[in-house]
Structure 1
Amino acid sequence: MTVSSTLIRGARLVSVGRPTPTDLPVDIRIDGGTVTEIAAGLRPRGAETVIDADGRWAIPGLWDQHAHLTWWAQSRSKLDVSGTSGPGDVLRIVADHVASLPHPWRSGAIVGYGFRTATWPEQPTAAMLDTVSGSHPVILASGDGHTGWLNTKALALLGVPLRDGPLLESEWFDLQHHVSALTAASENIDDLLRATISDAASKGVVGVVDFEMAAGYLEWPERFARGIDQIRIRPVTYPDRLDDVLAAGLRTGSELADGRGLLTMGPLKIFSDGSLNTRTAFCCEPYTDTEHHTLGHQAYDHQSLVELLSRGHRGGMDIALHAIGDAAVDQALSAFEATGAGGGIEHVQLIRHDDIRRMRELGVRASVQPAHLVDDREVARQCWSDRTDRCFALRSMLRGGVTLALGSDAPVAPLDPRIAMAAAIDRGADATTEPWNPDEALTPAQALSASTDGQTTVAVGSRGDVVLLDDNPIASGSSTQMGARLRALGIAATVVRGRPVHLAL
């Protein structure tokens, strides 16, 4: 991507600090990757790109603060097993897919995505998949990404000891590279990523924090060199590659080679617990739907977690600490306090009220994925029936002085900030469903502010990342109306560092 000079004419500026956009249209000049002028009647210069906004609404570019880009790109072409209510539904989908293959005797792997077992009447087994998969290895990933359901042939192919039940958490995560290698022969990852990033740009996305488990700090400069360079990327790293990242002289915020100002090093990602759907989120009180009174899974004891954060902090890394259960959030805050590390907590699906105060005092932000509340609503009622009032406490955190940053965790939810913002506003409500904990809903201005990477409006000196909208994103209405408006919001143009990467004018 080259740095472009672009003039946007006739746009109305939206500021999250004002209840309504500026009525008088203005022109916006972006030069050298930065907004340099905002005024009425600016004239084009030379070969400058000109975009006629025709009175549309201009906002800072949207960010997804937590996504897995390669996984999302691959999942968009995988067998869809979401929305299933039990193993039988999935088996019918797999059987129909096998029957539809032009050469069903060939043993190429079948990879699917999206099932959720938490509310199923029975749990999946390898033997079940064996009955419908023929000669094909079958690898199915759960909707939250924390479980793998494989048939016997896939287990053998990946060198996993035979077992009947699914693979959970770390055992499943450790296989991700091998699963990707297994399917890579039939996929062009670059083509999938180009299509995925183009789709993201069409939804107003100018940047993504990429939580892939691969060596993103090495892979993304290579991808940029191959022309996959439309938006900003911040790849994270994990503990197993931390020493390599530090040895390369990188820290959070470092510009990566040949990224032309669009590639910067992200934080150190650490898991401190599991997930709600697998009942491995670490909680202060037992899950309410199990006989074993489990509290979930604690990935590290306090001292081990402190040592890991200290390693990253000494090397200049911010921390992105995965914590879903309230006990994990409490432990995370204790580790931040002990080390002085900066960064945030990823997910924060369940939090005690006193820990909101601690987050504010420590300056720890909450990186949250509001669309998950739609999928996890019934699961939370089943597993956390005595504490759902503390689930996805977005307004309480914001009111308590905690900075929010919205994302998708794609492919767990679609990479689309409009969906995330809408869920934060309407709390999953529609014509037939009541909002879940409506007291925790955000306003459109609050949701937008949490989606623009700290940019509250398009202003002189701000990044040259601008999105033109067909409607006013912070217009008033009922929560259901405002959520529906955001989901359907038309994206007329997306400009990244002065370069138009999406136009639908």
Structure 2
Amino acid sequence: MLIPSRPTPVNSLLENIAKNPTPTNLLGEWILGQNWNESQWPERRMPNRKDLDKVAQHLPVMLWRSDLHLAVANSRALELAGITEDTSNPPHGVIGRDEKGIPNGILQDEAIDLVKRKIPVPTDIQITSAMADAIPTLHAIGITGLNDLRLMDGHDGSPTFRALQQLHNNSELSIRVWMCLLGDVLEDAIRIGLMTGMGDDLLRIGHVKLFADGSLGAHTAWLSESYADGGNGISLYPMEDMYQLIRRAESTGLSVAVHAIGDRAIHELVSVFTRLEKERKTSHETAKTPVPHRIEHLQILHTRDLISISELGIIGSVQPRQATDDIILIEKSIRDRGKLAYRFRDMLDRGIMLVFGSDCPVASPNPLSGIHAAITRQREDGTPEKGWYPNQRIQVEEAVRGYTVAPAKATGRWDTLGSLTLGKLADFIVLEKDIYTIDPALILTTRVDLTCIGGRIVYDGHDITP
């Protein structure tokens, strides 16, 4: 059974589980959910296994935090995974424990995989059907293309790729997909000759996804200074290994997209890219990648690294709505270092190309929600009144480019996508209001009237056909 995704307080979350005790065939006997965020709850605490045990003692339960880098499991789920007080932390994860050393159900980063491996995997038919059902929802909010990025465990990669190809073969793939590969399959990709950009107008091989650290919400983002309640996060890859992976990828025509949130992770990663650039100059070589490398998130960023990213020509892949979703979290966990967070204005002023996205399901996939966040630095309820660190607000035109021009250039598609230009593929949307001139608050409620992909109408907001 899937619990509806909404950031409700602990008690409401538990009531939701109790009201829905019957699992579906898709998930076997498991109860799964996602999108809780304790920083938005009055009690400001994470749920634990004892909380879940109160409403689901006999069925295994696992609920992911909104950032997907932390989850909470009940006792039954921990039992199925074989997690006890004697279980050691995995190399890139943490098993939360109470004061007696007993697992409390809170799992960080790759510790989640210990439980996830026990969850029944949907069939290819179920995945393909779910995708076919979901694509029209994306059309309705004006999405014509997406970057499909990988989670750390990578188990979703192969079935996802198979499902996308099946839809494509059946002429049912009505959205453009940039399909990224997990770093764990890098050697397999090289062995069969895959390169970034391979494919056609609808489905292409994208970047290789790597991870430098975790998330702020899970306290696994790697920081140079400690969190307010202690700890500096974790490094998910030794930087020498990261260097070797990126070097190997780019030598065979594969670009990388590296997840880096904390300032220490970003700094170390920039050092790796700088080292690679110096080696190219020394050997008078250029990178063999068809599109630039990317850094995903860039949430806590020092000016020295911002400048280096600009000089290296690395693309920033950022998520505007996450900035406002994280206000309470950041102010609590890193306090005044929030001034280093989500520096969109500073990055654009330094000439860094920013690709905007959502990291869905971490945040709403609606581009209009992201545009609102980028230009106001406000939550959807209009707070803070003057915006959070308002010096980082950007203009509507710049935000729109982040969802159109920049993604086209970042994926090597500028010759065919990203603008309404004679000779390009006609991907466009029609909105009911002019978002360049209306009150920014009204952008959130602006309706998509029409979505076209390749000149074909895939969504008509005025269609009343049942």
Within 5 A, what are the aligned runs for 1:84-483? Answer: 84-85=8-9, 87-98=10-21, 101=22, 108-117=29-38, 121-161=44-84, 163-173=103-113, 176=116, 178-179=118-119, 181=121, 184=122, 188-212=126-150, 213=154, 214-215=157-158, 216-255=160-199, 260-287=200-227, 289-290=228-229, 292=230, 294-340=231-277, 342-429=292-379, 430-431=381-382, 433-434=384-385, 435-452=387-404, 453-454=407-408, 457-475=419-437, 481-482=439-440
Structure 1 pair 414–102 and aligned structure 2 pair: CA distance change class (3 A): closer
1:67-112 deviations in Å (ceiling 9; x for gaps):
xxxxxxxxxx831363334x444323322333xx599xx9832111
Which stretch has the larger CA shift, 262-271 or 126-135? 126-135
- Offset, 1:157: 3.3
- Offset, 1:116: 2.2
Q: Find the aligned partners of 1:344 and 1:102 in 2 and give their Cα distance.
A: 40
RMSD: 2.6
TM-score using structure 2 length:
0.81
Q: Find the aligned partners of 2:444 and 2:149 in 1 and give their Cα distance.
A: 25
Q: Find the aligned partners of 1:438 and 1:190 in 2 and give their Cα distance.
A: 42
Q: Which residue of 2 aligns with 1:80?
A: 4
Which stretch has the larger CA shift, 107-116 or 196-205? 107-116
Structure 1 pair 313–381 and aligned structure 2 pair: CA distance change class (3 A): same
Instruction: Kindly indicate whether the alpha-carbon contact (under 8 Å) linking 1:217 and 1:265 is maintained by their aligned counterparts in 2.
Output: no
Instruction: Kindly indicate whether the alpha-carbon contact (under 8 Å) linking 1:285 and 1:295 is maintained by their aligned counterparts in 2.
Output: yes
Q: Helix, strand or coil: the match of 1:92?
A: helix
Structure 1 pair 222–176 and aligned structure 2 pair: CA distance change class (3 A): farther
Q: Find the aligned partners of 2:418 and 2:128 in 1 and give their Cα distance.
A: 33
1:441-491 deviations in Å (ceiling 9; x for gaps):
11110000010124563111222212222222322x5xxx22x23222222
Q: Find the aligned partners of 1:248 and 1:234 in 2 and give their Cα distance.
A: 19
AA in 2 matched with 1:492: D
AA in 1 matched with 2:253: G
1:424-454 deviations in Å (ceiling 9; x for gaps):
1111254453211111011110000010124
- Offset, 1:140: 0.8
Q: Which has the higher contact order (CA 8 A, sep 6+)?
A: 1
Give the length in aligned residue pairs.
410
Q: Find the aligned partners of 2:23 and 2:243 in 1 and give their Cα distance.
A: 54
Q: Find the aligned partners of 2:173 and 2:117 in 1 and give their Cα distance.
A: 24
Question: Any gaps of 5 or more consecutive residues in structure 1?
Answer: 1-76
Sequence identity of aligned pairs in percent?
Answer: 27
Q: Find the aligned partners of 1:358 and 1:502 in 2 and give their Cα distance.
A: 42
Instruction: Kindly indicate whether the alpha-carbon contact (under 8 Å) linking 2:23 and 2:31 is maintained by their aligned counterparts in 1.
Output: no
Q: Helix, strand or coil: the match of 2:141?
A: coil
- Offset, 1:185: 7.0
Q: Find the aligned partners of 1:178 and 1:107 in 2 and give their Cα distance.
A: 11
AA in 2 matched with 1:474: Y
Instruction: Kindly indicate whether the alpha-carbon contact (under 8 Å) linking 1:310 and 1:339 is maintained by their aligned counterparts in 2.
Output: yes
Structure 1 pair 153–502 and aligned structure 2 pair: CA distance change class (3 A): same
1:165-200 deviations in Å (ceiling 9; x for gaps):
31110121465565361xx37993323212211110
Q: Which residue of 1 aligns with 2:97?
A: none
Q: Helix, strand or coil: the match of 1:386?
A: helix
Q: Find the aligned partners of 1:375 and 1:450 in 2 and give their Cα distance.
A: 19
Q: Find the aligned partners of 1:302 and 1:412 in 2 and give their Cα distance.
A: 27
AA in 2 matched with 1:343: H
Q: Find the aligned partners of 2:81 and 2:130 in 1 and give their Cα distance.
A: 24
Q: Find the aligned partners of 1:338 and 1:93 in 2 and give their Cα distance.
A: 51
Instruction: Kindly indicate whether the alpha-carbon contact (under 8 Å) linking 2:17 and 2:56 is maintained by their aligned counterparts in 1.
Output: yes
AA in 2 matched with 1:298: S
Q: Find the aligned partners of 1:378 and 1:344 in 2 and give their Cα distance.
A: 27
Q: Helix, strand or coil: the match of 2:442?
A: helix
Q: Find the aligned partners of 1:267 and 1:395 in 2 and give their Cα distance.
A: 26
Structure 1 pair 400–174 and aligned structure 2 pair: CA distance change class (3 A): farther
1:235-293 deviations in Å (ceiling 9; x for gaps):
111111111222222111111xxxx5210111011110110011111112111x21x3x
Q: Helix, strand or coil: the match of 1:309?
A: helix
Q: Helix, strand or coil: the match of 2:217?
A: coil
